[in-house]
Structure 1
């Protein structure tokens, strides 16, 4: 049997065995591990970085995680009607292996699934509404769009097959110094080119009609990124994967993964805002000079600074997202990279939906749609409208009908006015509006992506978001940074920027 025909599970198992063997054989050659490591940011990227850094460098390394706000970052919840609801990242794809590994490792349960139905709104009426029956939905899609929906799923699956290769590379300890090299390892030049073409261009070249893009693809890119089909094709493919079944979430809120990873990594959480990272060299009486990074920060008790061998930046270095400065770096690095993050609003409303706003004429008690997606139209004030379930689903829970007061999430490009609310809801008693600079504004072609390596031992996770943004992409970047930091610390370059995995596997076998 060839290596290519092995199942992913078999490859990962074999990788564990071979990694152990290589580790035992090479451990005497390793240098002394670093003493102190800093991680800036406690969202999913920072928490995963702390977890993987502990895994790579062992129990003796001190890991500090700096976070001025709540642990979880863009994974957040809000309380309404005496329940907690997700306001940030909501669902996780069934093929997100790092996130699945985290919940298994931490012993966290997946949230109980509640059946849902989708519809598409064009600003005046529903152009499509799911039934309770799969065969009915299939026939409706077939009638409207022919086999294009099936072809879309096949195209997304082909992209995901290449995407999944990163797990094999990381299982075998491979790391990459740039987003471009990481993407090339997944699927070569063709995969890398997805970054520089819009989803619209790619799908039209594949033969999809414009009406299909407007009424099927665009609603999925809008609900995922609040942007049109003119985003890059990789981010677009991940958006279209939202049409797959099997999505899941964490019982008690997705942010629990972040706090769990910090606990498991035995990191120290420092509630402070990092203001500057300075590279410094200290002379030594008995040998060569040593270098370190001085992390300066401001917390509740005032300003402070600490010294670290390795620093991982797990917060975006872009306008509106960070004001960290860097000094003493040669060559100097930018404190803010080009590009902007897209402004969206997550609006929670506890109230009774006005179904006539959606063009529905039947009684609201008969309206059982739980998620309304929208086409790219000036008439739409929202990207999506979702009937939210609490982060913990109690026993015997059933989603209230639209005729009852319940919590809705309006995903919108702007804050909703009182007039907006009055059009969308018959009544409401509480509203919570959370602005997010949630992910980059994707406008391909993108000429320059920030690097993973900012300096000798200074690493940057959020570079990966300019390819696509998700919980899993942050986890992949965190794993890559930990491997990269380990290999470069121990001067082992054999698994940096290499794409010879299958060749090596043939040799091992």
Structure 2
């Protein structure tokens, strides 16, 4: 898949994405009120797309108990803000690119960086300034595995990109499995039910390459080894591509910008329950609503809505929303566990001997240290951070000064462990994240997008893969589902063989 083809595809889809709300093909009245529970990237994207689908008259309320942005978060260290949550965006994430353009945001200035791989004893690979040197090193040790990996990921991305065309034409899907099948057929469903290691070995990749390179990538991106599902593993490998970018001023600015653009009302409150309610209408029929109960600064309250979108994980430790009056019952918690990753920011000086090297600190030029799967290792990765806004005259601190480092680890690090990694520490900040599901194939049946007639669950998508763009794709899908179900447009839901059909039309 050439870069020229990708850029044409991106421009085409972005141009179409900027078209406003489609005209309604049904004579039914639009809903009066819609609730979105959660103001992370999924919830804020949902508010934006719901506004596109239902027009200016509908009132959209977005409930958020914490801060806007959810798992997109920053921390201030010594006068500068640094990303602590989702930090990079792939160049083919077309919804995120559209959001940045639509909201008038800009891409953060790129600061050159180098990567190394640490096995717990020594650095087994260090990136060079020279592409040809890196290429020859990889070729000498791993043969053509590195090139084949990029081709393997590109083949998956080429099918993945179909979803933008489907959404452009208004097609939606009621389950994650149906959405994935529309993208990549049975092959994508197979990727859910085998490990990344199994899939890559079956395609002829060497075990050494998987252990040394692929494992290091999955550990930094998802905190899990190559025994996670092959689909999310492919998403993780795509996150190692070149051209990754971030939003100037922090990725969470996208969320606040989408809420503002959607003209949604932000309600700072914790939702406790959602239930069904009926009210007689003037015509003598019975109208059905959803009652959202919540607790805000003024105490308990409730409000009625025509449509509700849940954009927060319905899993143990992440939500306690009670669903009452539904038949069949809706569980408060779906099966499965979220994987803990602890983000530790340290303002300090690195102890280079920890990396098994005797070179001077000034000679350590790598800024991203990935790790192999070693039980003795307490960390998944170690990264030198740059601020979320890069001044024109920005230079990283010299070797002798303290820098801001971010460590990903499965558990909080002890004083002894931090003391081994750093010569000195001025400040330490710790944030445990239940950042993404524990991806253990074979994949059980995923939660549905549709919980009830007009009650939708956006975060079902995370059980295929969790990242900003997947949440945005799910938000678009749920907004289309809500529109089609409200107006009775069932022909736009769960259609098969869309790729062949639309290719013929174009």
In the superposition, the TM-score normalised over structure 2's length comes to 0.96
Is the CA contact (8 Å cut-off) linking 1:179 and 1:463 kept in structure 2? yes
Assess, with a 3 A threshold, how the Cα gap between structure 1 residues 13 and 405 changes in structure 2: closer, same or farther.
closer
Aligned to 1:464: 461
Give the distance between the partners of 1:277 and 1:308, measured in 2 at CA: 10
- For 2:431, the equivalent position in structure 1 comes to 434
Distance 1:282 1:223 in 2: 51
CA contact (8 A) 2:385 2:405 kept: yes
| TM-score, structure 1 as length reference | 0.95
**Cα-to-partner distance string for 1:296-330 (whole Å, 9 max, x where unaligned):** 00011101000000000000000111000101111
1:8 and 2:5 matched: no
Match of residue 156 from structure 1? 153
Aligned partner (choices 78, 86, 110) of residue 89 of structure 1: 86
> Offset at 1:270?
0.2
Distance 2:126 2:503 in 1: 50
Q: Is the 8 A contact 1:353 1:402 kept in 2?
A: no
Quickly say closer, same or farther: Cα 1:120–1:470, change in 2 above 3 A.
same
**Contact map agreement 2:13 2:94 (CA 8 A) in 1:** no
Q: Who is 2:472 aligned against?
A: 475
Unaligned runs of 5+ in 1: none
- In structure 1, the residue matched to 2:338 is 341
- Are the equivalent residues in 2 in contact too, given 1:367–1:401 (CA < 8 A)? no
Question: Match of 2:72?
Answer: 75
What RMSD over aligned residues (CA atoms) do the two structures have, in Å? 1.8
User: What is residue 30 of structure 2 aligned with on the other side?
Assistant: 33
Separation in structure 2 between the aligned mates of residue 301 and residue 14 of structure 1, nearest angstrom:
44
Answering whether residue 442 of structure 2 is matched by residue 450 of structure 1, we say no
Q: Deviations over 1:262-286 (max 9, x none)?
A: 0000000000000000011123353
CA contact (8 A) 1:16 1:172 kept: no
Q: Quote the offset at 1:501 in angstroms.
A: 3.3
Following superposition, the deviation at residue 417 of structure 1 comes to: 1.2
1:178-232 Cα deviation digits (max 9, x unpaired): 0000000001001111100100000010111111111000000000000000000
Do structure 1's residue 109 and structure 2's residue 83 form an aligned pair? no
Are 1:125 and 2:126 an aligned pair? no
Question: Residues 264, 15 of structure 1: CA spacing in aligned structure 2 closer, same or farther, 3 A cutoff?
Answer: closer
Give 1:502 shift: 4.4
SS of the aligned residue for 2:491 comes to: coil
**Cα deviation, residue 334, structure 1:** 0.8
Residues matched between the structures, number: 501
For residues 320-366 of structure 1, the C-alpha deviation after alignment (integer angstroms, 9 at most, x for no partner) is 11000101111111110000000110000000000110012111111
Unaligned runs of 5+ in 2: none
Query: Are residue 501 (structure 1) and residue 503 (structure 2) matched?
Result: no
Q: How many Å apart are 1:28 and its aligned residue?
A: 5.6
Partner SS for 1:72? coil
1:413 — aligned with what? Answer: 410
In structure 2, the CA distance between the partners of 1:13 and 1:200, relative to structure 1 (3 Å rule), is: closer
Matched, 1:362 2:363: no
Match of 1:251 among 248, 252, 263: 248
Per-residue CA shift, 1:78-104, capped at 9, x if unaligned?
Answer: 111111000000110111000000000
2:182 counterpart residue number: 185
Could you say what secondary structure the match of 1:29 adopts? coil
- Cα pair 2:14 2:94 within 8 Å, conserved: no
Moved more, 413-422 or 479-488: 413-422
Quote the Cα distance in structure 2 between the aligned partners of 1:42 and 1:417: 33
Q: Against the structure 1 CA distance between its residues 13 and 412, is the aligned structure 2 distance closer, same or farther, given a 3 Å change threshold? A: closer
Structure-2 change in CA distance of 1:192 and 1:8 (3 Å): same
Query: Structure 1 residues 149 and 29, CA, compared in 2 at 3 Å: closer, same or farther?
Result: same
